[in-house]
């Protein structure tokens, strides 16, 4: 009886008793969801274009952030901080492009035509390698990252609900990124080639689209998305090695949204982020706390029973 009360009655009483607090929790959750979406985006890009489930995306986020913060600290001794940020960003983009070039050459090209699970395993190998490399170059300390993202708070709704400006900034960046990607995919030649490859590898090759170049571009774009995600997460939590864990949070976002859908990654992120926070705040105590660890997965799992391809995924048609 007590348990039923804790599950079915008191959370709702709390929600309606203090709607402003609920709003705050909801907004916090949505913002966390935006951050998950940023990581999930990188997964989707690569999965769409090459069918590779890139487990190393989380470590790529970490690696990009490490390089960015390391270069920024090194450069800001010599120049104006704004220039340092811009230059560090440009250099990191180049590094991520280089990384994707190497991954394509060394890892993906020899493994062409292997089973998906083999490619997936190879990306786990890449994840280990990049993590070791990043730690070797930049050390394992937590580094604070300040790139001028506002970190003040605003009060809205009769001054009752607190909103972090940095969260709003992150949401704006994520929105801008998705818009840029959408424009890039729709209106550029490369974008069109990418879509063709995503649709059908063999058909794309037969009309003369070089698959290898496309893969490098896709991994490069994913590296860029990883950098953006890394900067966002880094300025929130500091650049540290636990960042690669957030990749695991991006996975339920992916299955909820569908592996092949960019809007799916965003919507999935928002659902997972808000659902997780609300569940933790209102229902967590009934279960003994820390249900954030698995709630996202169980939510995604429950969802899969009803729509196996995810929210926006393509319907899977199978023939013998």
What are the tokens at 95? 């590094």
Q: Identify the residue among 252, 257, 264, 269 touching another protein (CB under 8 A).
A: 252
- Angle of helix 57-75 relative to helix 211-237, nearest 10 degrees? 70
- Would you say 249 and 36 are in contact if contact means Cβ atoms under 8 Å apart? yes
Question: Binders of another protein among 158-217, rule CB under 8 A?
Answer: none
**In whole angstroms, how close is the CB of 245 to another protein at the nearest point?**
9
> Roughly how many angstroms between the first and final C-alpha of the chain, as a whole number?
52
Near another protein by CB under 8 A: residue from 23, 86, 87, 107: 107
Residue among 26, 126, 163, 243 that touches another protein (CB under 8 A): 126
According to the binding rule CB under 8 A, does residue 39 interact with another protein?
no
289 binds another protein (CB under 8 A): yes
Q: Contacting another protein (CB under 8 A), which of 122, 197, 226, 232?
A: 122
* Contacts made by residues 43-47, CB under 8 angstroms, sequence distance 24+: 43/222, 43/250, 43/254, 43/259, 43/265, 44/254, 44/257, 44/259, 44/260, 44/261, 44/262, 44/264, 44/265, 45/181, 45/218, 45/221, 45/222, 45/225, 45/262, 46/218, 46/219, 46/222, 47/259, 47/260
- Residue from 105, 116, 146, 186 touching another protein (CB under 8 A): that is 116
Does the protein bind another protein through residue 291 (CB under 8 A)?
Answer: yes
Q: How far is the CB of 255 from another protein (least distance, A)?
A: 5
Q: By rule CB under 8 A, what count of residues binds another protein?
A: 49
Q: How far apart are CA 96 and CA 235, in angstroms?
A: 19
Nearer to another protein, 189 or 319 (CB): 319
3-class secondary-structure state, position 141: coil
- The least CB distance from residue 289 to another protein, in Å, is 7
Which residues of this protein are in contact with another protein, per CB under 8 A? 53, 106-107, 110-111, 114, 116-118, 120-122, 124-133, 135-136, 140, 248, 251-252, 254-255, 259, 287-291, 293-294, 297-298, 300-301, 304-305, 308, 310, 318-320
């Amino acid at each position: 009886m007590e348990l039923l009360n804790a599950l079915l009655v008191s959370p709702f009483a709390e929600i309606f008793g203090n709607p402003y607090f609920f709003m705050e929790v909801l907004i916090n959750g949505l913002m966390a969801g935006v951050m998950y979406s940023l990581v999930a985006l990188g997964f989707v890009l690569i999965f769409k274009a090459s069918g590779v489930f890139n487990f190393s995306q989380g470590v790529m986020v970490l690696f990009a952030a490490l390089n960015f913060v390391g270069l920024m600290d090194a450069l800001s001794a010599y120049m104006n901080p704004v220039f340092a940020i811009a230059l560090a960003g440009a250099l990191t983009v180049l590094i991520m492009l280089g990384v994707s070039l190497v991954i394509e050459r060394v890892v993906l090209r020899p493994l062409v035509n292997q089973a998906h699970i083999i490619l997936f395993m190879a990306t786990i190998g890449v994840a280990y390698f990049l993590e070791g490399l990043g730690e070797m170059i930049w050390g394992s300390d937590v580094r604070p990252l300040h790139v001028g993202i506002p970190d003040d708070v605003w009060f809205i709704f009769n001054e009752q609900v607190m909103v972090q400006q940095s969260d709003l900034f992150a949401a704006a960046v994520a929105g801008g990124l998705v818009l840029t990607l959408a424009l890039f995919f729709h209106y550029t030649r490369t974008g069109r080639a990418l879509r063709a490859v995503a649709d059908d590898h063999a058909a794309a090759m037969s009309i003369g689209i070089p698959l290898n170049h496309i893969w490098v571009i896709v991994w490069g774009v994913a590296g860029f998305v990883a950098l953006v995600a890394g900067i966002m997460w880094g300025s929130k939590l500091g650049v540290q090695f636990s960042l690669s864990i957030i990749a695991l949070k991006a996975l339920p976002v992916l299955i909820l949204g569908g592996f092949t859908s960019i809007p799916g990654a965003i919507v999935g992120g928002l659902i997972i982020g808000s659902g997780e926070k609300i569940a933790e705040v209102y229902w967590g105590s009934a279960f003994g706390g820390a249900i954030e660890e698995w709630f996202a997965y169980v939510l995604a799992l429950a969802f899969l029973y009803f729509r196996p391809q995810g929210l926006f995924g393509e319907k899977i048609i199978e023939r013998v």
